[in-house]
A and B are shown apart, each in its own frame.
Chain A
């Protein structure tokens, strides 16, 4: 595959998502899967982003709205807890911030070049009006 051009493949190409035999994909979490080089999981769309979401776990109530409504499987939830954002696959659409119900929000959008530590330190306070 590495040595062929973009238009050189057999008609009826077949790609394998995983290396080797996999029996129970639905029961195997992403970190335990043997992804093949043909799985888009190994690619990145991080350069699509203009703004990035920053996660502040202090305010998170683990409602999982961001997990269910993320179009890019970029909200990482394990054991019913939201633990972080997959920055390789996040396209920066901002849906997670919109659906976040906490006050102040646990997720906010910042310019891609912003420093995460600084933004977390200056997180907005609770909005009393709403």
Chain B
């Protein structure tokens, strides 16, 4: 196994040579590229990358340009996971046969997908890759909506959010379903490593990504990616929104090892009320009308219950 890149502090990290380029067409203030940069800069090894159809794919591969300085492939909406798994299987076969030209290089296999491509459309494919335990990492850039096609709800869209296919109005508070517990589902595959990350906690994130790269077997990462266009906030507030999401425990940061060992990796010193998180986003603004105010209480109770659940899972070690 190749040596892990040493990243002690941010100054040391900033000497990294980025392998993701500017003049991609992501919206100003998009968190996707912040996450991608933190992932790619976490290693010096070669990369074999894929992206499912989604914002990241359409914005970084606009013909005749590519924004990727590594092997990168796009096939379909659902199969970035299987494309990378196939490359990994091929690599292993060539390695076994001794036909690799540079056998000492240890490429890392990473697939990116949005929440639409992962929670809905590519779900079965990802599940297959995790079950076969390919030595790869799957990263969800979770912005809780089909942002690329105009803001349709996905199964990651949280309850009460106004999306174009579940709009809020005089008789509806918007999305009716709860967000799918993808982390729980993936952990239930008993894969070696599952983690939830956020770009504002870069150290936690880089640590988890490096842990994932060092793991032999399938790794699933869920990264919160605030969307300035569909969550409806000012582009400059992306990091503020990420802070709110982690500190209000709406997106708790934790990892699951072998589906059994649950570890909470970040406990906010001052927990922010969920109301503040909701108030910062245009997609929840209708919840502050008298008619739907009960939803805010429901949100807080649900987030508290989830935090309690995570703490108990951490304690129980089962």
B150 contacts chain A at the CB level, 8 A cutoff:
no
Verify B12–A80 contact, CB threshold 8 A.
yes
Interface positions, chain A 27-53, Cβ under 8 Å from B, are 27-30, 33, 37-45, 48
B11 contacts chain A at the CB level, 8 A cutoff:
yes
| CA of A92 to CA of B64, assembled, Å | 24
B28 contacts chain A at the CB level, 8 A cutoff:
yes
Verify B202–A26 contact, CB threshold 8 A.
no
Verify A64–B14 contact, CB threshold 8 A.
yes
Verify A71–B13 contact, CB threshold 8 A.
no
User: Which B residues are CB-close (under 8 A) to A86?
Assistant: 22
A105 contacts chain B at the CB level, 8 A cutoff:
no
CB distance from A10 to the nearest CB of B (A): 11
Given contacts A62-B11, A93-B236, A95-B235, contact A43 B66 (CB under 8 A): no
Candidates B29, B68, B202, B238; contact of A17 at CB < 8 Å: B68
User: Which A residues are CB-close (under 8 A) to B11?
Assistant: 62, 64, 80
B240 contacts chain A at the CB level, 8 A cutoff:
yes
Verify A9–B34 contact, CB threshold 8 A.
no
Verify B240–A98 contact, CB threshold 8 A.
yes
In the complex, the number of residue pairs spanning A and B with C-beta atoms less than 8 Å apart equals: 147
DSSP majority for the A interface?
Answer: loop
Given contacts A89-B23, A93-B238, contact A15 B29 (CB under 8 A): no
Verify A40–B22 contact, CB threshold 8 A.
yes
Verify B19–A68 contact, CB threshold 8 A.
no
Task: Name the CB-closest residue of B to A82.
Answer: B14
Interface positions, chain B 58-77, Cβ under 8 Å from A, are 60-70
Interface magnitude class on chain A: 35 or more
Interface string of B75-109 (1 = CB under 8 A from A): 00000000000000000000000000000000000
User: Which B residues are CB-close (under 8 A) to A42?
Assistant: 23
| CA of A83 to CA of B266, assembled, Å | 32
CB distance from A56 to the nearest CB of B (A): 18
Candidates A27, A48, A98; contact of B17 at CB < 8 Å: A27
| CA of A77 to CA of B43, assembled, Å | 18
CB distance from A74 to the nearest CB of B (A): 6
Verify B236–A40 contact, CB threshold 8 A.
no
Given A30-B17, A41-B22, A41-B67: 4 more A-B contacts, CB < 8 Å: A39-B66, A40-B22, A40-B23, A68-B14
Write the residues of chain B forming the contact surface with A, with a CB cutoff of 8 angstroms: 10-26, 28-34, 37-38, 43-45, 60-70, 199-200, 202, 228, 234-240
Write the residues of chain A forming the contact surface with B, with a CB cutoff of 8 angstroms: 1, 6, 9, 13, 15, 17-18, 25-30, 33, 37-45, 48, 62-65, 67-74, 77-80, 86, 88-95, 97-99, 109
Closest 10 CB pairs of A and B: A89-B22, A94-B236, A93-B29, A93-B28, A91-B28, A43-B23, A40-B65, A26-B44, A93-B235, A80-B11
13 A–B contacts from the bound complex (CB under 8 Å): A15-B61, A17-B70, A26-B16, A39-B65, A40-B21, A68-B38, A71-B33, A73-B33, A77-B15, A89-B21, A89-B23, A95-B236, A99-B239
